[in-house]
Structure 1
């Protein structure tokens, strides 16, 4: 089967309204799936590593000035007070959302108590919405990322006071 024939087959399947077509010949297998009107949302959770006591706040303070444009003096002062907090970091690259949908309330606010398994935020990666759950119990001290902002792997998202 030549490329032109495959392209014509794809066009035919798309016009026919079929959601999936499988074609098996002697030496070739082709499966054509067309998109549906309903979005396919898959929730995926990846384990988050706990922060090391000393290096993590320094890394959080170092990441904050580059993202927000703060000076190094305020970052150094901030890291000194953050030693007792646990940093919740992004397990994936994507877009950070504080709400489950635009018309709903945020998952957590500063001052909220959280326990292990509570949803803190959602990170969208490649059209998949991944709920990020707390791995520690405590109180949210600071939200380090603005809503609907891009985040990198291992970027600090929240500071949690475990006491």
Structure 2
């Protein structure tokens, strides 16, 4: 298994919601664990025989840090990214921000831009409410379905 295959496997595990994946071949073993809530998925995936350049030593398991108990966010709507790309809070460096914490938004208001493959996509709100928290830094990469904003519905 080469480094590109390992990177693809890590991306797959991160997107799929699976908590742990272990693969064993003749002289190669890899285990990928996430800090997500446990999910049980049973699957059989045939792996193509690939030459192994060097065996990968598995690192000892680390204990996940305990998250502090925060405010209840269950009453908020999470606005998620509809695509993979780069998140921008304004149309340009000298332009005003689309939304700030505390702003009231309506359905159809532009909340951000996500650049994907050199195309700038305006992301419109599908909910009406007040922006409670912006979860992504400006000019940061985002994944599909990644939380962007918390909105308190009106």
Note whether the superposition's TM-score is higher than 0.5.
yes
Distance in structure 1 (CA, Å) of the matches to 2:66 and 2:74: 17
Instruction: Provide structure 1 residue ranges, at least 5 long, that are not aligned to the other structure.
Output: 1-61, 63-70
Provide the C-alpha distance between the structure 2 equivalents of 1:125 and 1:91, rounded to a whole number of angstroms: 11
Picking from 141, 148, 151, the partner of 2:142 is 151
Which ranges of 4 or more aligned residues in structure 1 deviate by more than 6 Å?
Answer: none
1:118 aligned to 2:109?
Answer: yes
Say if 1:162 and 1:103 are closer, same or farther in 2 by CA, change over 3 A. Answer: same
Any idea what the Cα deviations from partners look like across 1:43-76, whole Å, max 9, x if unmatched?
A: xxxxxxxxxxxxxxxxxxx6xxxxxxxx5422xx
Question: For 1:119 and 1:97, how far apart are their aligned partners in 2?
Answer: 11
Q: What residue in structure 2 maps to residue 133 of structure 1? A: 124
TM-score w.r.t. the length of structure 2 is 0.57
Based on CA coordinates, which of the two structures has the bigger radius of gyration? Answer: 1
TM-score, normalised relative to structure 1: 0.54
Q: Deviations over 1:99-140 (max 9, x none)?
A: 011101100000000000000000000000000000000000
Distance 2:148 2:66 in 1: 19
CA distance in 1, matches of 2:124, 2:103: 14
Match of 1:73 in 2: 67
SS at match of 2:67: helix
Name the CA distance, whole Å, in 1 between partners of 2:84 and 2:75: 26
The runs of 5 or more residues in structure 2 that have no matched partner are 1-35, 37-64
Figure out how many residues of one structure are paired with residues of the other and give that number.
92
Q: Secondary structure at the match of 1:73?
A: coil
Larger helix percent: 1
